[in-house]
Structure 1
Amino acid sequence: MKNKFNKLLFLFALSAFAVSCSNDDDHDHDDHSEETNQEYKYVRILVSDEKTTELSLVNPVDGTTTFFDAKFPKSALYTTESGRFAGIIHRADNTVETFDSGFEFHGDHVDTKGTPKFGALTGISLSPTHFKSKLGEIVTFNDGDGTLSVAKESDVHSPGAAFTTINAGLKAHHGAMATFSNGTYAITEKDNSIAGTLPEKVKIIDHTGKTVHAAKLATQGIHGNATDGTYAVFGSASGILVVESNGNQKLIPHPADFGTAWFGSILETAYAGKFVGYTAAKGAFLIDVVNNSVTPIIENTKIMQCKVSYNHKKLGVLLHSGEMRVYDLSSLSLDKTANIISATAEDATQKPQLELTERFAYITSPATGELLQVSLSTLAITKIKTSATPYRITIFGHENSAGH
């Protein structure tokens, strides 16, 4: 009888353990999710197509792809500040769409809010080109008329939601804007003091389009910008233009050997007052706007893609040779280097695109209709099927594996 009783106790304990494990699974306490050779559970990759309206939503955890149809092909893709939504920019068709990953971040975990789908929020404007998202807003600069289109992330699923227009009295130009933490915008101006499409100045406006701080400096052309909320940094042929939220402006000189080269792309980092400047003519450099310094990260004229990681702590570089290099933006040290893909001609019509998370690099393969997932810990490559001619990609969702 005693042996039978002990057996019953053992079976009861075993059953309780099984239930406990089952409950843990229900709450997503998955030890494997924290391994560096597996992507975070709530990260997704969105891929547009060059020739069709097909969008590929890739789940990099299990290598599966779900397909959706955008309004137009060949769209540019961006991620909103919250990480939940993607902005789909159809510049040639004057249209902006929004797409919901379905993942909402809550500080230490992620809630699933329905299924991935398009948002009700759409925008119609003249040549929407430059995309930014700060302070819960989604903003585009419209090259066709020099206006801003602004909407709230919270309105993405509001029936009939649309962008509102901010008209600052600007001429149409290929411009850019940045949002400061105080809610104002730094916005480019074109006064035609130089020939061409590029603007020469930057002023600060409010939500009504009223000028808060007039431009203080004129340049020989501006392209590319980023902001940390206090500083807005613009690439300029006259130097690196730094605009502060209080209206102060200054130019940081390029390195002495730059000649006529200048940064056409400025990227944000996780570090206050520090940005990455990139020019194909020289390479990628760390810009410290507080100390007025420009420090080389990689000096190379054969860079095909130069991207900051999703957490803004790494810099990924893909060379035309097919070599990928990953740098730590805190130390500027080279973390990883490997030949990942075959060489791409510098005059290729469509080139592979690169994005990075903390754990993986993602590279499109336009010729094979695939997304390459490259482990940053092992450099192992996984191929995931996408639409036939992948064009642009963005990472959205959250680098987190804890559910509610």
Structure 2
Amino acid sequence: MKNKFTRLFLVLTTATAVLSCSNDEDTDKVDETLNEYKYIRLLVSDENTTALTLFNPFSNSTSSFEAKHPKSALYTSESGRLGAIIHREFDYTETFDTGLEFHGDHVDVKGTPKFGAMTSTSAKPTHFKSKIGEIMTFNDGDGTLSVGKESDVHTPGAKMTIINAGLKAHHGAMATFSNGNYAITEKDNSIPGVLPERVKIIDRTGKELYASTIATKGIHGNATDGTYAVFGSASGILVVQSNGTQELIPHPANFGTVWFGTILETSTKGNFIGFAATKGVYLINVVKKTVSPIIENTDIMQCKTSFDGNQLGILLHSGNFISYNLNTLAISKESTNLIPATAKDSKQKPQMVFTNRFVYITQPSSGEIAQFLIKNTSNNKKVKVSNTPYRLTLLGFENSVDH
């Protein structure tokens, strides 16, 4: 009898322990989406000083560096590992390495964050792009391209290569095709001003492969998915294919003389974003040749795609934030008064970037970055970076897995 009672007691005790452990696991389970990914970083420049700040949202820590000059524009390489720091007025470009390397399902820490050895001295580097393992600027001062390989960033004395396609100096742009050739704007002076009118395709030596077949009334803004290069144009949306084919997609009927001065890439091939401040934001499908409104609003202060290219983020002058799913064009999140309202004539306006978890917005007057959890923006904080934060870019990877 005693043995039976003992066995029953052990069974009940074990069952209770299992239930208790199970309940403990449920209680201890952490919602990782409340935290930023471990390997996301923000690089922030300053308007008035050479201060450069690297913010790690996961550890809530900052590291300070000194750029060559103040008021630098910041961009992210295609891999996500590198930053490009462009000093247009000083004819100089420098590189920055997060020390993070993505391996498909995890991230390796290959070194500490630091400047790269590769630099570029060129005439007014302005437009930046990064594709097929390259980083590139269009140099407004002389119409050339500067191109460097991401893999050469730490090669001692490395300089970005200058590609001269025999162009006149102009406020231009370029796009890289998957086959390694480039679509590049050219100016023939058929319209007054600094804007180019045409696009041609060149190879890595600057040799013309396909001449322009369409003249426009001015070009500004472009993006590429590797097959299609899309340029904002006063004559329509200029689409250039890697085989040299060119065509214009008409703007919506109610645009009049308005046109898209900003074109953004998305994560879906053939889909691009067009932004016109006096109209709003539209989805451009170059395969179907359609232009569909996403948000028609004249109060847009910032229009950005998410770090993964799947979402569109809109920050209004009112301080409201709206994000859209670019697959459905439905609103994913709408938050009112995320930040204080900003006057349209403000000298320095807040700048925004966002991952699929958090929105980051510069606060120029307080020297901070405001961080908001997208799923619940009441979960927010401010991080001091420098006295007058100017531009910011996301670096790294939406991943938290170690080797």
Q: What TM-score does the superposition give when structure 2 sets the normalisation length?
A: 0.92
Q: 1:48-70 deviations in whole A, cap 9, x for unaligned?
A: 00000000100011221111000
CA distance in 2 between partners of 1:198 and 1:315 (Å): 27
Q: Within 5 Å, which residues of 2 pair with 1:182-193? A: 182-193=179-190
Deviation string 1:12-62 (CA, Å, 9 cap, x unpaired) is xxxxxxxxxxxxxxxxxx985x72111100000000000000001000112
Deviation at 1:254, TM superposition (A): 0.4
Q: Distance in 2 between matches of 1:381 and 1:196?
A: 45
> What's the counterpart of residue 11 of structure 1?
none
Equivalent of 1:118 in 115, 121, 140: 115
CA–CA distance in structure 2, aligned partners of residues 102 and 361 of structure 1: 23
Among candidates 275, 292, 295, match of residue 298 of structure 1:
295
State the alpha-carbon separation in 1 of the partners of residues 322 and 140 from structure 2: 34
Distance verdict in 2 for CA 1:180–1:31, change over 3 Å:
farther
C-alpha displacement of 1:337: 1.0
Gap change, CA 1:93 and 1:31, over 3 Å in 2:
farther
Counterpart code for 2:140: D
One-letter amino acid of the structure 1 residue matched with residue 161 of structure 2: T
Aligned to 1:3: none
- Give structure 1 regions of 4+ aligned residues with deviation exceeding 2 angstroms: none
SS in 1 for 2:117: coil
Residue number in structure 2 paired with 1:8: none
Equivalent-residue separation in structure 1 for 2:320 and 2:59 (angstroms): 26
Corresponding position: 1:197 with 2:167: no
CA distance in 2, matches of 1:371, 1:31: 29
After TM superposition, list the pairs within 5 Å mapping 1:24-103 onto structure 2. Answer: 32=30, 35-103=32-100
Of the three residues 281, 284, 309, the one matched with 2:281 is 284
Match of 1:346 in 2: 344
- Distance in 2 separating the partners of 1:344 and 1:137: 36
SS in 1 for 2:89: helix
Q: State the Cα deviation string for residues 180-218 of structure 1 (Å, max 9, x = none).
A: 000000000000000000000000000000001100100
Aligned to 2:102: 105
Distance 1:262 1:375 in 2: 34
Tell me the alpha carbon deviations over residues 353-386 of structure 1, each in whole angstroms, 9 at most, x when there is no partner: 0101111111000011110111111112211111
Q: Which amino acid aligns with 2:162?
A: T
- The corresponding residue for 1:226 is 223
The residue matched to 1:186 in structure 2 has which SS? strand
Cα distance in structure 1, aligned partners of 2:183 and 2:34:
40
The match for 1:134 among 125, 131, 139 is 131
Distance 1:151-1:200 versus aligned 2 partners, 3 A rule: same
Match of 2:5 in 1: none
- Please give the alpha-carbon distance, in whole angstroms, between the structure 2 residues aligned to 1:60 and 1:386: 12
Letter in 2 for 1:270: S
Q: Which has the higher Rg, Structure 1 or Structure 2?
A: 2
Q: Which residue of 2 aligns with 1:15?
A: none
The corresponding residue for 2:23 is: none
Determine which structure has greater relative contact order: mean sequence separation of CA pairs < 8 Å that are 6+ residues apart, divided by chain length. Answer: 1
Amino acid at match of 2:122: S
State which of 176, 179, 188 in structure 1 corresponds to 2:176. 179
Secondary structure at the residue paired with 2:189?
A: coil
Distance 1:107 1:169, change over 3 A: same
Q: Does 1:364 align with 2:369?
A: no
Tell me the secondary structure at the aligned position of residue 257 of structure 1: helix
With normalisation by structure 1, the TM-score equals 0.92
Identity of aligned residues (%): 66
How many correspondences in the alignment? 374
User: Could you say what secondary structure the match of 1:355 adopts?
Assistant: strand
Q: Does 1:386 align with 2:385?
A: yes
Matches of 1:231 and 1:323, distance apart in 2: 33
Q: For the residues of structure 2 that align with 1:367 and 1:254, how far apart are their CA atoms? A: 38
Provide Cα deviations, 1:140-190, integer angstroms capped at 9, x if missing partner: 000000000011000000000001110000000000000000000000000
Distance in 2 between residues matched to 1:337 and 1:51, nearest whole Å: 33
1-side partners of 2:134 and 2:189: how far apart?
30
Kept after mapping to 2: 8 A contact 1:99/1:117 = yes
Rounded Cα–Cα distance in structure 2 between residues aligned with 1:83 and 1:66: 18
Q: Please point out which of 152, 155, 175 is paired with 1:155.
A: 152
Gaps of at least 5 residues in structure 1 are 1-29
Show CA shifts across 1:82-121 (max 9, x none). 1000000000000000000110000010000110000000
What residue in structure 2 maps to residue 235 of structure 1?
Answer: 232
Secondary structure, aligned partner of 2:142: coil
1:396 aligns with 2:392: no
Give the superposed CA RMSD: 1.0
Please tell me whether the aligned partners of residues 37 and 378 of structure 1 are also in contact (alpha carbons under 8 angstroms).
no
Are 1:274 and 2:267 counterparts? no
Unmatched 5+ stretches in structure 2: 1-27
Q: Is the 8 A contact 1:240 1:251 kept in 2?
A: yes
Corresponding position of 2:18: none
Partner Cα distance (1:359, 1:369) in 2: 23
Name the counterpart of 1:9. Answer: none
